[in-house]
Amino acid sequence: MDRRSALVLAGIFGGVFVALFGFLFLSWTVVQGQQGVTFGGGRVGVVEIKGPIVESDEAVEQLHDFLEDDAIQAVVVRVDSPGGSVAPSQEIHAEVRRLAEKKHVVVSMGGVAASGGYYLAAPADKIFANPGTLTGSIGVISQIPNVAEISDKLGFRMNVVKSGPAKDSGNPFRAFTEEDRAIFQAMVDKVYEQFVQAVAEGRELPEERVRAIADGRVLTGQEALELGLIDEIGNFHDAVRAAADLAGIEGRPHLVYPPKKRPFALETFLADGARAAVRAGLSEVRGQIEGEQGGAMLQYLLPGY
């Protein structure tokens, strides 16, 4: 092959390489644009917390990622949750507080942001809610079912072997004693104090003022505004504008949502899905054999927001 032919082939292959690289780069930018990432201008991160709060891993990871990302100048936390478990709510609250120490955080409340949904919002720089948003519900509840009378009628007995008198507190197959009530009441009272302190610190309100309305009552957004639990009446876009103003962003900010996790290939997706289905099936069978209801019962015994 002469030199001229080699140069022609090199030019062809080089052009194909450049075109392929350009196509891949364009595809990447389109995908990132769909996730809210754009180039240039101020950026505001958006974290969505929706539904009952039963776990915190995803929300905490997203908040932490925005904390570490220097390109993100402010964050809007969109909350549409009736609350949930205590510890996950506290974990998200702690991450929101940590983020607010470094960047501006604005909460936008949707239809409902009550109990744990309000707890996690308290440390934000500003809280927005709609006039009819259901929020507040500052309090703690623990529900302990009792089926002792039903089991007596059915002739069902649960034999209990325990290491101490309080080990089966809340056992639904026996009477709920005053000792049981004292144990659960003490636990609820301690968690309640943590809730009141978190709201007082986050909203910079006297504890006495918070305690006066922390009886579990649900408030509208308008009532919450009058009581100092939120800052302004407004929707999601109002919260975004406020976050941009706090961060000194001029013009319309670019919203950045956490990237969606995508499988690398269809084969990987199908293989992982098949393995997960098998594991889920085996877990379900094992759960039925070993008495999976114990896990559900624990959710009743634990206090919740």
Contact in structure between 185 and 169 (CB atoms under 8 Å): no
Tokens representing 97 are 């507080």
Q: What is the separation, in whole angstroms, between the first and last Cα of the chain?
A: 78
Can you tell me the distance from the alpha carbon of 167 to that of 144, in angstroms, rounded to the nearest whole number? 15
The angle that helices 86-100 and 57-68 make with each other, rounded to 10 degrees, is 10
Q: 85: closest CA among 116, 122, 61?
A: 116
Residue 167 annotated among the catalytic residues of the structure: yes
Tell me the CA distances in angstroms from 62 to 58, 91, 94, 260, one per residue in order: 6, 13, 13, 11
Q: Are 206 and 199 in contact (CB under 8 A)?
A: no
Tokens representing 150 are 């039903």
Q: Which of 50, 102, 167, 190 is labelled catalytic? A: 167
Nearest-5° Cα angle at 6, 2 to 7: 120
Q: Parallel, antiparallel, or unpaired: how do β-strands 74-81 and 134-136 relate?
A: unpaired
Q: Residue 188, Cβ neighbours under 10 Å: how many?
A: 17
Q: 175-185: b or e for each residue (b if 16 or more CB lie within 10 Å)? A: ebeeebeeebe
Residue 115 falls in the annotated catalytic set: yes
Closest CA to 69 of 257, 272, 262: 257
**Of 115, 126, 137, 169, which one is the catalytic site residue?**
115
Catalytic residue numbers, as ranges = 115, 167
